[in-house]
Amino acid sequence: MHDFPRGSTATPTAVAVPPSLALPVIESSFPRRLHPYWPRLQERTRGWLLEKRLMPADKVAEYADGLCYTDLMAGYYLGAPDEVLQAIADYSAWFFVWDDRHDRDIVHGRAGAWRRLKDRLHTALDSPGDHLCHEDALVAGFADSVLRLYAFSPATWNARFARHFHAVIEAYDREFRNRTRGVVPGVAEYLELRRLTFAHRIWTDLLEPSAGLELPETVRRHPAYRRAALLSQEFAAWYNDLCSLPKELAGDEVHNLGISLITHEGLTLEEAILEIRRRVEYCIDEFVPAERDALRFADELADDGTVRGKELGTAVRACVGNMRNWFSSVYWFHHESGRYRVDSWDDRSTPPYVNNEAAGEK
Closest Cα partner for 53 from 111, 179, 158, 139? 139
SS3 assignment, position 208 = helix
Is 142 a residue of the active site? no
Is 198 a residue of the active site? yes
What's the burial of 179, exposed, middle or buried (CB within 10 Å: 0-12/13-18/19+)? buried
**Among residues 6, 44, 96, 226, which one is catalytic?**
96
Rounded to an integer, what distance in angstroms lies between the CA atom of residue 328 and that of residue 339? 17
Rounded to an integer, what distance in angstroms lies between the CA atom of residue 259 and that of residue 245? 8
Can you give the C-alpha Rg of the chain in angstroms?
20
**Among residues 4, 152, 161, 198, which one is catalytic?**
198
**Among residues 4, 30, 95, 165, which one is catalytic?**
95
What's the burial of 13, exposed, middle or buried (CB within 10 Å: 0-12/13-18/19+)? exposed
Is 339 a residue of the active site? yes
**Among residues 32, 120, 324, 339, which one is catalytic?**
339
Rounded to an integer, what distance in angstroms lies between the CA atom of residue 165 and that of residue 118? 12
Closest Cα partner for 194 from 246, 238, 244? 238
Which is it for strands 33-34 and 2-3: parallel, antiparallel or unpaired? antiparallel
Inter-residue contact 159 to 86 (CB < 8 Å): no
Q: List phi, psi (to 5°) of 353.
A: -90, 0
How many of the other CB atoms lie within 10 Å of CB of 109?
Answer: 10
Is 96 a residue of the active site? yes
Cα angle 323, 92, 223 (rounded to 5 degrees) comes to: 30
What's the burial of 280, exposed, middle or buried (CB within 10 Å: 0-12/13-18/19+)? buried
Burial string for 32-50 (b: 16+ CB within 10 Å, else e) reads bbbbebbbebbebbbebbe
Give Cα separations from 43 to 32, 37, 70, 269 (angstroms): 21, 10, 9, 40
Rounded to an integer, what distance in angstroms lies between the CA atom of residue 10 and that of residue 29? 23
From the DSSP assignment, how many helices (H) and strands (E) are in the chain? Answer: 17, 2
What amino acid positions are annotated as catalytic residues? 95-96, 198, 339
